[in-house]
Structure 1
C-alpha cells in the first residue's frame, strides 16, 4: 500500500499560523525536560516477578482470569483454556509467535476435531470481520502488558486485525512475561522509541483491560456490554 499524497500542505500550515497571529514554525521543536516525572515512580522498584504479582492482583479486580505457566506447559494450558471458553469457533492473528511458542499445533489439533479455526488474513478484507463477529473466541498475543491496570496492549497491523479482540464472545491473550512493564508510561515510551528508530507505527494500538463493561447507568457494573463477556490471560514464563 503506497503512501498518500498531501496537497497544499505548506499553504495550509502557513494560513493556520497566520490565523494564530504568529509566524509558521519550520524548525523542529525540542521536547521539554520536566523537573518532576512522578509517572515514572509507580512500581519503578519492582522486579519482574513483583510486577507479575501486581498484574494478577489487578486482574482479579477487573474480572479477568490469569493463568501463569511455563513454556513447556503452554500447549496444554492453551488447549484447556480454549475448552473452558467453550470451543466451537476461534479467530486468531496471523502472527509468527504462534509458531514460536508451539500454539499453532494446538490450533491444528482443534481444527482436526471439527472446530472452526480461522487465521486473520490481510488479503480477505471484510470476510475477516464476518468471521470475527461470529467467533466464540478471539486469540492474540500481547505486545506490551501493563501491571498497574491489568492491560494488554495490541499492535494491530496486516494480519493482526483489531476485530479479533473486540468482536468474539470471549477473548484470550497470550502474554510473554517479558512484555510486562509498570504502566502506560513505559508503553508509550516503547512506542515512541520504535518510531524514532524508523519502525512503521501500527495501524491501530488497543489498550484492553479485561472484559467489556460499563457502569454508566446508576453506577452499576455491567460486564459484556460492547465486546467480549469473558477474558482469560495466559502468562508465559519466557525468560
Structure 2
C-alpha cells in the first residue's frame, strides 16, 4: 500500500509564514552541486574489494565476519549460533530463508534438536516482542550493506519486526554480496529510486552498525549496553 501525504499544504504554509514570505509553489528545482565528493568514495570498487573494506571495518566495530556460499550457509549459521550458546532463535517471516536453503534448518533441524525457534508472526501481535526478548540469537537478512561503515540496512515491516534486532542477546546479519554498496550515499540513492518507482517503503528502516554500544560516559566506548552484546555478519557469495 502506497503511503499518503497528509496536511502537506497547511504544513508548508505554516513554515512560509514563520519565514515571513509567501509559499513557493512552483519553479523549485533540485540543486546541482559543482562538487560531489560523496559519490567518489570507493566509486570503482569491485564487490570483492567491498567485502575487503567491510572486513576491515568489522574489526573496528567488534563484529565477527564470516564468508560463505549459499550451499554452505546453513552450516555457517549453525556454527555461529553454537558459538553464542544456542537458542532460542528468532527469525523473520522472510522468503529469503527458503531462497538461501535455510528452511530445513529453521523448520526441521533446530526443532528436532529441541532448539526453540520463533518466526515473526504478525497475527501474534505484541507476543512477538515478548518472544524476541527471550531469544538468545536473532537472524535476519540485510537489504543494503554499507561497506565503509559496516552497517546493515534492514527494511522492517509486517513480517519483519524491528524488535528482533534490538532485544535478543546476539545478532546475526546474513549479507548477500549483491547488497554491498560503498556507503550511505548509495543507500540513499537506492531508497530514493524505490520511492520514485512508487514502491512501498517501510515506515522504519534500520541502520545497524555492529553490536550495541555507547560512549556517553566519559567518552569511553562500552559494547553491549542497550541491545545485542555481540554481532556476526555472514557474507554470502551470490555471483
TM-score (normalizing by structure 1): 0.94
Residue 103 of structure 1 aligns with which residue?
102
Question: Is 1:199 paired with 2:185?
Answer: no
Q: Which stretches of structure 1, 4 residues or longer, exceed 6 Å deviation after superposition?
A: 1-5
CA distance in 1: counterparts of 2:179 and 2:3, whole angstroms: 31
Number of equivalenced pairs: 238
Quote how far apart the aligned CAs of 1:67 are: 0.4
Secondary structure of 2:89 counterpart: strand
Rounded Cα–Cα distance in structure 2 between residues aligned with 1:166 and 1:25: 42
Secondary structure in 2 aligned to 1:32? coil
Deviation at 1:12, TM superposition (A): 5.0
Ranges in structure 1 where 5+ consecutive residues have no aligned partner? none
1:181-229 Cα shifts (integer Å, max 9, x gaps) = 0000000100000000000111211111111111222232211001100
CA deviation string 1:25-78 (max 9, x = no partner): 223732111100001111112111011001001001111000000121111111
User: Is residue 94 from structure 1 mapped to residue 93 from structure 2 by the alignment?
Assistant: yes
Task: Provide, for residues 81-129 of structure 1, a one-character-per-residue CA deviation record: whole Å limited to 9, x for no partner.
Answer: 1111211201111110001001121112102211110111122211111
Unaligned runs of 5+ in 2: none
- Give the corresponding residue for 1:157: 157
Q: CA deviation at 1:232?
A: 0.5
For the aligned residue pairs, the C-alpha RMSD in angstroms reads: 1.8
Change (3 A) 1:182 1:15: closer
The 1:36–1:5 alpha-carbon spacing in structure 2 relative to 1, beyond 3 Å, is: closer
Q: Which residue of 2 aligns with 1:175?
A: 175
CA contact (8 A) 2:2 2:198 kept: no
Closer, same or farther: CA 3–190 of 1 in aligned 2, 3 Å: closer
